[in-house]
Structure 1
């Protein structure tokens, strides 16, 4: 057994001064069969520790349905870290931000009347149940019990949100009662207000920043007068949103910033070492005056790219770390190229005409939250009084809507564009297909409802008698995969499903180019790759090798608008979009 504690100036590992040189890998953003590869490459860059958040909504998407297996097997992830001879830092939140859906909080939790991230009793009771389950996994894997975990974080950048000290004290008490004995930390951006509001005297304060290390460490030291200085989120890149650019940081500048940090004697957690992917519908969104949903890729311009290949930043960081700590002689294998080939897509028909018996009838449109719906789409239908058209006005669309009358497309309403109104023609049936594009993961918009908000009206006359039909895109894709498609010369406009079959000699990481498609979702052998959108910047979807098979494989594409070309093109390199340079 080995001890880990905080001394007057340093972390102490087995009683000796120790510098934490860590990198972030989120187990829930990486295929479980590729965890070991990513962890090993972290060690080869010179890291001695792996940090991960814990995503509550991945473990318990529906209340009471806790899952810690497969993708959610945090225990196995921590064991793999230990097997690689490395330590682990666990950040269980409950709020994690991370550009992750709803900041990691489950929809069922945030849909209620609870006061989030506070000592409000009903919220705290749910959080307590969650943390106890996490600590059942973490506690026996602490370093003083022969495991890998050396630090556990309380909350996450709480000073940017609130200052409820009773809430933080309750989290600390619960954490200790659950058997967590390693040091407890907090992280905040290095401002006086955030550092003061986001922590407690008994917690070790750390900072989050990506540059101006000396200045920010000085601010941190003013609030943490003893013990080691640590940047527990050293931002080496940034995330992307639909309609933006692909963010990158200069390799030499990032390496210089890391050098400055280590030269000051600080410990570090590189955020991210390997970003991975927002598979399925797990991307979050930002909203600082404009709603901006996060893309499927979480490449982050990290040392290890989305496909798990080392980048120039990997080797630059490795050289910097070697100045301050031992680095293995072994280097990771060079970046590999993925197989490039094209196969035709064959149509499988329309896919958004859901069966009527899944719908709910109400006077006003039912939100995703009222429906308890966790997938991407809800279709809303109502009859137009007197068959008249006019100006359709909504209170708000969250987040993107396709409007049609009697099956004929009329236009779209976009939250990102601040759309609220659309002229519609005369007709009998108004249909509005609404996509939830990702829940805001930051600040006080956590948990906002999704769908058609309020009661739409035409020429100031409220429309009632709505039929709200939830559409589970994964279930629809599975049904289509089972029946396949058939060649057809007929053109397809509007939502249409497509199928492509391809063979591989052996499982392989693939990169699916979506440039000739418009907007929708893609699946390989039932594995939900995520969202694609011509709005960019991202063009390729990463297909992890464990999702593929030697022999026959099937791709299913659920397109919401149109394809420029009915082809599935697999390319050799990531295409994440234009940069600002």
Structure 2
């Protein structure tokens, strides 16, 4: 019996080994196409980011990708999500990039990995962690030793998660991108090669590539490695460009093709023409090129992770929390008209006898007519421990990455004149003795306000919000937040600052009271001004659960927590007027919602819709 048992065990081991060997593939660069196991492979890829999609829906989004005809997923990895504090790594929950990739494999999808670690992606600081900026002389995307050490440490830890998932080790990651659109920023080939060496040291031993816009490729490509192009969809031009920088050969990969675009606060909802996009996709596939559509599914930029654009010609412009992108799969993961047009195009290019799987059903939606907000926590009655310095400290020097800081100082004498904040980052509400006198907005190049006080010993308060660090372009290295220089009154610097930190990593610990309370002990006032910032809390039960959209029309500017999840930001100016709430984050009993509003007050109710509102502008 023992011999028979041993034989059976040996058979299982040998069989398992053979299956494992059979599952291994080779992936290589041919002269004109990618080669999988020596045969041509046309990548039909779509971008999705695990951190922007509730973990509970990763598999559902993958099934939608397969149903549209994709065979590959492109994905960034966000350093600031994976290493929120130096040396403290988080690969759990929505940050579990390895599990995201494993699910893709189970669903029959290859992966093109883009860990850069600079990603752009309309993501806070382009994916870099805020704590790099605590060193005010550090230069990201450079040979700065302090930057390279932090970069290397991160990539080595990421490699432990992802190297086993490369195709070279039996996984489904076909190739890995080093840096990201580097030509838009610099042209240091030595720095690019340092990237390559770090990736190899981390065990990322497969095919490496770079990506750049057409005009940026000469600066951003690394000789000897595949250069891929972003934002170009004319096949002849794609081939000519890649040939020029890759020894006259391919493969030809459009690493970012844009069938949609992102939104910024204060500008209309972006989009593209589905019929024209479908025609372009058909041309690319007919020419045998590989392509990655950015985005296939955008999802939502949760928490305080939205980025911002700024250039020498364009003002600071923060992006919305909704990352719907007018993509084939909308923010909540449902197929759009664009999805079906692309599916029809891809179907034309299937091999004889191949068929696409059916399109999964849409997620059910619900609307909730009236959620009572019964308690409020005025911000100025919840100040916490102060930091006291002669000069104002920026967020980074206060050891804070995101959220808000309240800066206060006392005017000993009556004063009249121009109050100016030197280098405001990014949005401020200004108060005298707890009463708001105005708003300053970096987008609109507002940094000063006239004041006229007739009394002495009045307190100036400046509540400053990080509205999103710049994620692209020449100002990437100039990203410290808060009051980054000084405050002057009639050109004379104000000193003696008392600062209060509000990182809002959680909304617990605040002191709540009934929403209609009018008298409390507070910051230099005993009367609650309904315009002043506050958190509003309520609970609700549900009979049915489904996706829904918080209707933020009637609110001012802030963010929302639901059952412990920071759902993202809202701002009355639009174009985004709703916040997507995934059904997976709701429960039938005792849902808790907390809304922070820095501009409007006295909120007692909030409702939800069964559809998004993403293109409604309001007057500022």
| TM-score of the pair, normalised by structure 1 | 0.95
Q: Indicate how the Cα distance of structure 1 residues 236 and 282 shifts in structure 2: closer, same or farther if over 3 A, else same.
A: same
Aligned-partner Cα distance in 2 for 1:489–1:129: 51
Aligned-partner Cα distance in 2 for 1:31–1:159: 33
Number of aligned pairs?
Answer: 574
The answer to whether residue 133 in structure 2 is matched with residue 120 in structure 1 is: no
Q: 1:190: how far off?
A: 1.3
The answer to whether residue 468 in structure 2 is matched with residue 443 in structure 1 is: no
Aligned-partner Cα distance in 2 for 1:166–1:246: 40
Aligned-partner Cα distance in 1 for 2:41–2:405: 53
Aligned-partner Cα distance in 2 for 1:89–1:344: 43
Q: 1:347: how far off?
A: 4.8
Aligned-partner Cα distance in 2 for 1:109–1:396: 19
The answer to whether residue 552 in structure 2 is matched with residue 514 in structure 1 is: yes
Aligned-partner Cα distance in 1 for 2:433–2:153: 48
The answer for the alignment partner of 2:161 in structure 1 is 137
Aligned-partner Cα distance in 2 for 1:246–1:255: 20
- Alignment deviations for residues 346-389 of structure 1 (CA, whole Å, 9 cap, x no partner): 35334322655532111111100111112310000000131434
Secondary structure of the residue that 2:508 maps to in structure 1?
Answer: helix
Aligned-partner Cα distance in 2 for 1:544–1:452: 36
Secondary structure of the residue that 1:205 maps to in structure 2?
Answer: strand
The answer for the alignment partner of 2:115 in structure 1 is 92
Aligned residues: CA RMSD: 1.9
- Alignment deviations for residues 464-491 of structure 1 (CA, whole Å, 9 cap, x no partner): 000121112243x2235xx765353868
The answer for the alignment partner of 1:60 in structure 2 is 83
Aligned-partner Cα distance in 2 for 1:14–1:328: 22
Aligned-partner Cα distance in 2 for 1:80–1:161: 34
The answer for the alignment partner of 2:264 in structure 1 is 241
Q: Indicate how the Cα distance of structure 1 residues 324 and 295 shifts in structure 2: closer, same or farther if over 3 A, else same.
A: same
The answer for the alignment partner of 2:174 in structure 1 is 150
The answer for the alignment partner of 1:417 in structure 2 is 444
Aligned-partner Cα distance in 2 for 1:92–1:444: 21
Q: 1:563: how far off?
A: 4.9
1:188 is aligned, of 201, 212, 230, to 212
- More displaced 10-residue stretch of structure 1: 82-91 or 492-501: 492-501
Aligned-partner Cα distance in 2 for 1:522–1:334: 29
Aligned-partner Cα distance in 2 for 1:357–1:21: 53
- More displaced 10-residue stretch of structure 1: 73-82 or 329-338: 329-338
Q: 1:554: how far off?
A: 1.6
Contact 2:238–2:254, Cα closer than 8 Å, also in 1 = no
1:203 is aligned, of 225, 236, 246, to 225
Secondary structure of the residue that 2:116 maps to in structure 1?
Answer: coil
- Alignment deviations for residues 124-171 of structure 1 (CA, whole Å, 9 cap, x no partner): 222111111111111111113221110100100111111111111111
- More displaced 10-residue stretch of structure 1: 338-347 or 548-557: 338-347
| TM-score of the pair, normalised by structure 2 | 0.89
Q: 1:328: how far off?
A: 4.1
Q: 1:196: how far off?
A: 1.7
Contact 1:3–1:15, Cα closer than 8 Å, also in 2 = yes
Contact 2:545–2:587, Cα closer than 8 Å, also in 1 = yes
* Pairing 1:460-479 to 2, within 5 Å after superposition: 460-475=491-506, 477-479=507-509
Secondary structure of the residue that 1:78 maps to in structure 2?
Answer: helix
Q: 1:336: how far off?
A: 4.2
The answer to whether residue 66 in structure 2 is matched with residue 35 in structure 1 is: no
Contact 2:72–2:112, Cα closer than 8 Å, also in 1 = yes
Structure with higher Rg: it is: 2
Q: 1:180: how far off?
A: 2.1
Secondary structure of the residue that 1:219 maps to in structure 2?
Answer: helix
1:486 is aligned, of 514, 526, 541, to 514
The answer for the alignment partner of 1:532 in structure 2 is 570
Secondary structure of the residue that 2:369 maps to in structure 1?
Answer: strand
- More displaced 10-residue stretch of structure 1: 385-394 or 230-239: 385-394
The answer to whether residue 370 in structure 2 is matched with residue 340 in structure 1 is: no
The answer for the alignment partner of 2:244 in structure 1 is 222
Aligned-partner Cα distance in 2 for 1:404–1:161: 39
Q: Indicate how the Cα distance of structure 1 residues 27 and 556 shifts in structure 2: closer, same or farther if over 3 A, else same.
A: same
Give unpaired runs (5+ residues) of structure 2.
Answer: 1-23, 519-528
Secondary structure of the residue that 2:35 maps to in structure 1?
Answer: strand
- More displaced 10-residue stretch of structure 1: 528-537 or 119-128: 119-128
Give unpaired runs (5+ residues) of structure 1.
Answer: none
